[in-house]
Structure 1
Amino acid sequence: MAVFNNTGASITPTLATRYVGTADTWTSPTADLAATNLQPCANGAWTTVAYTFNANAGAVNGYEVKIDFGNNFSSNSKYVQVIAAEVRVTPGLSIGLNSSPPIPELPNVAAELQRSKRYYRSTYPNGITPGTNVSALPALGGMWGSFQSNNPGGGIGVTFDTEMRTTPTLKFWDRVGNTGAVMSIRNNGPTWTDNASGMIVEQAGPTGFLGATASSAVNTYFFHYTAYADFW
């Protein structure tokens, strides 16, 4: 990573790591790499700091990386700025300080959002909390639609653009935030109805789901949903 030092003097940050014995249980983490000096950082300049180390196999359960800049901030005018921080596998590199680290692999926001869809996805716009009233947003925040053409209920098939890690937990809302509900608009006139029916999941899997409404009315139904398939 790159460090800009504005503390008034040269500083030497340290690196330390810890891991846990049980996945995501941080009650008593175990030290792996003890506090180790990184490259000295001159005042008023950018410095690249990098260190190669062997991580304990327990890192698969959770791993913590700590960078300590020391007691060098005696006033609020003193600071350090950090950019391009990255932890990655670097086979073949020697253990210890690294004066020529690989260029950081920092994907753009669009790529990160697409990658995240393996674990979580939402029909709400980015930054909008699921269940929020979206009746004032353009296109109601991008709701999904299902045309009901039969009786007693219409159905819809949703295919995920990225396969999820496992069968997700699904949640649904209408435009004003009623949980488990859909909204409708009558086919013979622009009459919106919130909480028009419940949403039923017929089948679901990592690649999508089949849903249906419980209503027997012939309307067009809309809904927002989230799909969650993370590790906890």
Structure 2
Amino acid sequence: MMGHLTRRAGHALAAVFVAAILALGFAAPIEPAAAAASYLVDNVKMTVSGTPGTGTITLGSAVTGAMSASTAGVPNGSQVSYYISDGGSNWEIGQGTYSTTGPTLTRGALWSSAGANTAISLDSSALVSLTLLAEDIPQAIASSVPTYASGFVNKFRNGTFDIWQLGTSGLATSTSAPGNYTADGFQVQQTGAVGSCQRAAIGLSGLPLYGLECNGATSNTDTKITAKIGSFIAAPLAGQTVTVQVRYTQDSGAAVTPKVSSAYASAQDNFSTVTGDLGSTPLSSCASGVWCIEAYTFNVSANATNGYEIVFDCNVALTAAQECSIAAADIRVTPNLTAGAIPSNPPTPEMRPVWLELPFDLAYFETSYPLGIAPGTASETATARSNVALNTTDFYDLGETVFKTKKQCANPTITFYNPSTGAPGSFWDLSSSSSVGAASTRFVTSDGFNAYSTTATLTAVHITQYHWTASCVL
């Protein structure tokens, strides 16, 4: 059994890791960080009170030569990593939540056990140790240094539903698969009839603030939500056992069993045609009006190196007054969970903060509009602005725009919007309070573009405004 890692040791390990990264010439940050690490302590080993079975464990006293969690100073509500032994061959390893009331240990993500990776039934002879798991090492690094060089676990883009570059309400869906983009990274298809989607506060403790909520319409038959994962991000999933999960709710008035399916792209990052991988698979029944954890563990095709998509099927007809919502989306490699099964204790979803998530999303889509303002809105806030003069009789150049993040495609699609009217395809001449048509681009690269127009002649310097979007969405 691996020895305990103190917080000081975790900090030292992090420093060595980052020094090695910097020595190789990499500049932090590199990739988004993993979820919050477990609270790590030394030499904690306790008995149990009563016979906990497979449920919450009421902790007893410290064994001879060790400390209790209380003596070691574990705070109330902390995530901890544990090892349980109950007899010579009965054991369990996982993460849980420690409470000073009792005190108790509530089981969470279960990584492995003698019970085929399910919770073992404990009797009064069980011993519980707080210890270090392999899962804790990258988390200790990530939480100890101002970088995210350790990589990220959750391969979904915007799994926290914090980024909404297309707006936060009234987002149109489509009857054609895979649907229209709503929250960054998520497309929605509705069959029978389309409603609309919006950002909605979910009100779940310990989870992100927002989720994706979609209304139905008269004659609506279903709502499907697709998340595409680019080839470079999906590659570590290829050929592996993974677990996908969301928080799910619907208010149709009856219990519903949502479904999940997956497919891989026909060629690298080409999702115009996809090949099915996981067929449409029922998850767990979810009562109307409650939030449920919906998760499934399965084996991913080696062809996921082309790019991968997950489809969450609400599997319910909705009226205009009814909704289906998902939140806290997570997909990761889980080698210790059983493929082809609904896990009883899926891993805690990784929740990357906005300042880490946003650059990831900007690599696929960027807009000059402020976050949450839909492109095409009449707004002069944060417009690109150029002082331009005619330099030929054919066009005038509005100068170069540099992207905040290098795009994932060589030639992103650029769309211009008139700040005064919101109309696409034109600029706004602030000097003459008139629209300038024939908006176009030159020298489009993954780093930026030049805007220009082939419209009427200008005889003096004019101040011209415009909004824009740059798209490399999959």
Normalised to the residue count of structure 1, the TM-score between the two structures is 0.63
In the aligned structure 2, how far is the partner of 1:203 from the partner of 1:19? 35
Deviations 1:64-104 (Å, cap 9, x if unpaired)?
4557899xxxxxxxx99865342x22153232454443321
Which residue in 2 is equivalent to 1:73?
none
Task: Classify the secondary structure of the residue corresponding to 1:145.
Answer: strand
Q: 2:436 aligns with which of 193, 196, 206?
A: 196
Aligned to 1:218: 461
Give, in whole Å, the separation in 2 of the partners of 1:12 and 1:141: 44
Determine the structure 2 residue equivalent to 1:180.
425
In structure 2, runs of 5+ residues without a counterpart are 1-245, 317-322
The answer for the alignment partner of 2:31 in structure 1 is none
Count residues in correspondence: 209
Q: Tell me which of 218, 229, 232 is aligned to 2:472.
A: 229
Map 1:70-149 onto structure 2 (within 5 A): 83-86=327-330, 88-96=331-339, 97-108=342-353, 111-125=356-370, 126-130=372-376, 132=377, 134=378, 137=379, 140-148=380-388
Residues 52, 93 of structure 1: 8 Å contact kept: no
Give unpaired runs (5+ residues) of structure 1: 71-78, 187-191
- Is 1:164 the equivalent of 2:404? no
CA drift at 1:13: 5.6
**Bigger Cα displacement from structure 2, 222-231 vs 48-57:** 48-57
Greater relative contact order: 1 or 2 (C-alpha under 8 angstroms, separation 6 or more)?
1
Alignment partner, residue 32 of structure 1: 278
TM-score relative to the length of structure 2: 0.35
SS of equivalent residue, structure 2 residue 443: strand
Whole-Å separation in 1 of the counterparts to 2:424 and 2:249 = 48
Q: Is the 8 A contact 2:389 2:459 kept in 1?
A: no
Mapped to 2, the partners of 1:91 and 1:63 lie a distance apart of 18
Q: CA deviation at 1:120?
A: 1.9
Contact 2:401 2:448 (8 Å CA) reproduced: yes
CA RMSD after TM alignment: 4.3
2: CA distance, partners of 1:34 / 1:221 = 51
Q: In structure 2, what is the Cα distance between the partners aligned to 1:222 and 1:14?
A: 47
